A and B are shown apart, each in its own frame.
Chain A
Amino acid sequence: MSIESNRLSPKQYAHNFADFHPPFETHDAALVEANRCLFCYDAPCIKACPTSINVPKFIKQITTDNIKGSAHTIFLSNIMGAGCGKVCPVEKLCEGSCVFNLMDEPPIPIAKLQRYSTEIAMKKDWKLFTRKVTPEGLKAKKVAIIGAGPAGLSCAHMLSREGVDVTIFEKDEKAGGLMTYGIAAYKVTPAFCADEVRYILSIGGINIKYGQELGRNLRLDIMQKDYDAVYVSIGVGLARQLDIEGEELEGVIDAISFIYDIRSKGFSKVPVGDRVAVIGMGMTAIDAATQARRLGAKEVTILYRRTQEEMPCTEVELDIAKLDGCKIIWLAAPKEIIGVNGKVHSLIADVMELDTPDETGRRAPLKTGRQIVLEVDMIIKAAGQMPFESLITENDFENLRGKIVSNNTATNLEGIFAGGDCVNGGKEVVDAVQAGKDGAAAILLYISQQ
C-alpha cells in the first residue's frame, strides 16, 4: 500500500475527468424537452432558484429560436448560469420543484437546457450586456472586491453593468473561487472555468489583481480609503478538524486541499492512496471520494456518522459515488488513526446508532460501543469547512464564530459590504451568486448617496 501520483495514463486521466454533463446533441433534442415545459405562472422553479432565474421564460425562448434572449434571461439573474447548470444540486432546487414531479413525470431537465443556451452564448461570445456610460464630467465610481469567487464575480458584473470601475483582489492565480478550485474537475472542467471567467469579464470595467490576499499583502483600511466601497467575498476554506488521535500522520489530508491540488496542479501530479477513507457525506466528500477513484485509488470508502436519511449530499451525488465504485459505510464515526512509521495504516471507527428524535426532530448519533477497523493508507477529511475566523476578527468585523455579520450585506465597517460563504458559512455556488447581486445592489445604493 502506498500513496502515489501518476497512477494512470494521460488517456485514462482524460477519460476519467471528461465533462460529466452530456449536452443536447442537437437543437431538435433541446426542443423536445423545452417544448415539454408548461410555462408555469409564478413558477415553482423560479422560487426554488436562489438567483430566481426566470426558468419558464428562458425555456420558452429556446422554443421560439431566441437562444440569445434565452441566454440573456439566464445571465441577467445569474452571471454564472453556465457553471451553475453544471454544479447546482438541481434535484433539490429548480428541477426538484418542477410541477411534473407532482404528476410523477420526469421534471424538465432545466440544468441541461440552461447549459444549452449559455454554452452557445459563450461559444459565440455574444455580448449580452453593456456597461452604463458615466456622464461626461463625472468620475466613474470605484469599488474593490476581495475574492474572485462566484460572489465576487457576480457582484463585479452587476456593478460594471452600472458603470462602476471594479478592481478584484484575488489570492489565487485564477478567478472563479470554489468553481475553479473547489469542485470536482469532471463536473466543471478547468477549461470551462477559465472560459466562464473570461466571458464574465468580457463586459469590461473589471480588473483582477491576482496574488493579493487579505492579511498578507492587502489591507482593508487602505482599500476603504482608496475606493468608494469594498465588497468582501473571501469565502471559507479551513477544513474542520476531526480532533482524533493520529490526525497528524502522513496520509491524512483535507478534502479542500485535495480538490484544490487536483484543480491547480494537474491530475498526474496529485498523489492518492491505494485504499482511501473519506470522512463526511457532503458534496465536498463526494467530490473528494469520486476524484480519488478517478485518480486511480483502488478502493475508496466513505464514512458517515448518520444515515442516508440525514446525509447532506443529494441522492444524485450519492449515486455518482456509488457508480464510481465508492463504498459507503453508514453510522460510522472516526475514532482513531493508527500509524506505522509515521504513515497512516488503518482507521478505527465507532459504530453509531441514532438516538430518538429530539424536539427539533434531529436524531443525534450515539456510540454503540462497537468498532470497525479499516485498513487504509490515506484519509481525506471532508467534515465541513470553517470560516477564516482569525482574519475576520483581526479586521474588526463583527462576526459570529468567524462568519461576518451583515445587515443587508453592509458590515459594521463603513463602506464595507460582504457576502457569500464568508457570511453564510458555506453554501452553494448559486447562493454566492445571489449574494453578489445583493451586495452590488446595496453598494450601488450606498455610492449613489455619497
Chain B
Amino acid sequence: MRKRHLEKRITMADLSSNFLGIKSPNPFWLASAPPTDKKVNVLRAFEAGWGGVVWKTLGSQVKNVSSRYSAINYGGQKVMGFNNIELISDRPLDINLREIEECLRLFPDRAMIVSLMADNDKASWHELIKKVEDTGAHGLELNFGCPHGMTERGMGAAVGQDPEIARMVVDWVMEKATIPVITKLTPNVHSVVPTAQAVVEAGTNALSLINTIQSVTGVYLETLVPNPYVAGKSVFGGYCGPAVKPIALKFLTTIAQDNVTKSVPVSGIGGISTWKDAVEFLLLGASNVQVCTAAMKHGFRIIEDMCEGMNNWMDDRGFIKLDDFIGRSVNNITHWEDLDINYHHIAHINQDKCIHCGLCYIACEDTSHQSIDLAYGKPYNTYTIKEEECVGCNLCQLMCPVNDCITMQEHRVAPEYLNWKQFKERGLPLNDH
C-alpha cells in the first residue's frame, strides 16, 4: 500500500502553465466577462484555485441595460447555451486599475491579463495600455470579438471581422505594449484565419478564441418578444456555454493547422465546462483555456474538479506536463479526401445490455439506413443489426441510452489504405452499398 501511494505521488502530473512567460499554477483562466469584473469576484476566484483571470474589458466607460442574459435549456437541464448583451466594464477605469493592482499584490502567483477595447484611434489605445501596464498586469488581451453594443461604435467584433482594421489596431498596440499581447478573435466570420493571420503578422504574441456567437436564444411565447427582454425589445446577443464548444474547437483547429497562425500560442475559449472539455482544447492546440459560462452557472468551485480530473487523466495516460499532450490531436483532423475509404465498421447490439427502448431502431428506420431488425415481443421487442445493410454511421450508437450496449466493430473492406482520389483513379464501383 505504502509503495503504491508513493508511486502515485511520484507520477503526479504537473498542471502548471507557462503562457508567453505568464505563469499560472494551472491552465484554467477565467475569461474576460462578468466573473472578472471586480476585485471581490477575482479574489474569490483565486481563493477557489483559478490559475488566472482575464479582467473584464476596459475602455471608455459604458452603461448597461436590464435584463442582460438569456439561455437555452435542454432536456430538463438548464443553460445548454447562454446569451448576453452586457457591454464592456461599466465601472470607472481608475477603480478597475486600482483593484487589479490589489489582486496582483494579494495573489502574485496567479496570471493577471487585462482585456482592452479602446476607442478606435491610436492615442486612445496607447493611453489605455500605459495605464494598464502601470498596474503590473502580466498581459493584455485585445477584445476584437464582442458581438453586441460595441460593434455599432466600430469596436469589438467590427474590428475582428475585418483583417485590415485588426492589423492596424495590433500595429498600434505593439508599438506601445511592453507586456505580452493576446488578440481575441470573433467567431462571427466564415473563417477566423484571415484575421488571425493579419494580427500575427502585425506582431501579436498570442491568440485567444472564440468570443461569443451572435444569437437570438428565443422568443417569449406570451409577449412575442425575443429574449433577453429589455422594455419590450431585444437585441442580438453573444452565445456561449456548452452549445458552442464544437464551433470553438473547429475554429481552434483551423488556427492550429495554419502555417502562419500556428506560430503563436492560443488560449482556448468556448463552452469549456469540465476538465474533459479543457483537455480537448489542449489536444487541438490550445496552450491553456479560459472559462466563463460554467463558472457563472455553478460558481468558482468547479475549478476543483477541473484540476483534479485533468490531473488524474494525465497520470493515467502518463503525461507529466501539459506540453506532453498540447496539440497532439491537431494532425488527426485531416481533409475528407484523405480519409480511408476501406475503413468500415458495423454496429453491434449487446443483447445482454439492451433495455429494448427501440431508440436505435426508430432512428435507423425513419432517418437512416433501415439496418436494424425488430422482432416483436410483448412487452419487449428484440433489436438486431442487419449487418449487410449497416453503413456504420454511428446514429444508433449515439441514440442508445446504455453505455457500451451498441459498439461499432471494425470490418475493413480491404486491408490497405485507400482514399477517394485513389478510389477514383482505380475506377472502383460506387454503388457497392
Contacts and interface: CB of A to CB of B under 8 A. Distances in A.
A390 to B, nearest CB: 38
Contacts of B379: 44-45, 47-48, 97
Contacts of B355: 99-100, 102-103
A81 B355 CA distance: 27
Nearest to A28: B76
Interface SS of chain B: helix, strand, loop or mixed?
A: loop
A42 B358 contact: yes
A373 B180 CA distance: 94
A47 B361 CA distance: 17
A14 interface: no
B243 to A, nearest CB: 18
B4 interface: no
B381 interface: yes
A31 B76 contact: yes
Nearest to B74: A35
A439 to B, nearest CB: 23
B357 A99 contact: yes
B75 A35 contact: yes
Nearest to B365: A41
B402 A103 contact: yes
Interface in A1-49: 31-32, 34-36, 38-45, 47-48
Nearest to B401: A38
B63 interface: no
A45 to B, nearest CB: 8
Contacts of A77: none
A100 B379 CA distance: 13
A44 B359 CA distance: 12
A434 interface: no
A102 B374 CA distance: 19
Contacts of B39: none
Interface residues of A, number: 21
B317 to A, nearest CB: 30
Size bracket, chain B contacts = 10 to 19
Interface string B357-368: 111011000000
B378 interface: yes
A110 to B, nearest CB: 13
Contacts, number: 45
Contacts of B374: 42
A38 B359 contact: yes
Contact of B76 (A35, A40, A45): A35
Contacts of A32: 76
Contact of A40 (B75, B359, B378, B402): B359
Contact of A41 (B76, B361, B380): B361
A47 B75 CA distance: 25
B402 to A, nearest CB: 7
A97 B356 CA distance: 10
A39 B76 CA distance: 14
A106 to B, nearest CB: 14
Nearest to A45: B379
Nearest to A32: B76
Contacts of A39: 359
Given A31-B76, A63-B76, A38 B378 contact: no
Given A42-B381, A44-B380, A102 B356 contact: yes
A315 to B, nearest CB: 19
Given A44-B379, A44-B380, A97-B379, A38 B76 contact: no
B76 A99 contact: no
A62 to B, nearest CB: 11
A402 B409 CA distance: 60
A44 B76 contact: no
B75 A41 contact: no
A52 to B, nearest CB: 11
Given A34-B76, A40-B356, A41-B359, 6 more contacts: A36-B76, A38-B357, A40-B358, A41-B362, A42-B361, A43-B358
25 contacts: A34-B76, A35-B76, A38-B357, A38-B359, A38-B401, A39-B359, A40-B356, A40-B358, A40-B359, A41-B357, A41-B358, A41-B361, A41-B362, A42-B362, A42-B374, A42-B381, A43-B357, A43-B358, A97-B380, A99-B355, A99-B356, A99-B357, A102-B355, A102-B356, A103-B355
Interface of A: 31-32, 34-36, 38-45, 47-48, 63, 97, 99-100, 102-103
Interface of B: 75-76, 355-359, 361-362, 374, 378-381, 401-402
Complex A-B, nearest 5 residue pairs according to Cβ-Cβ distance, in ascending order? A35-B76, A41-B358, A44-B379, A41-B362, A99-B355
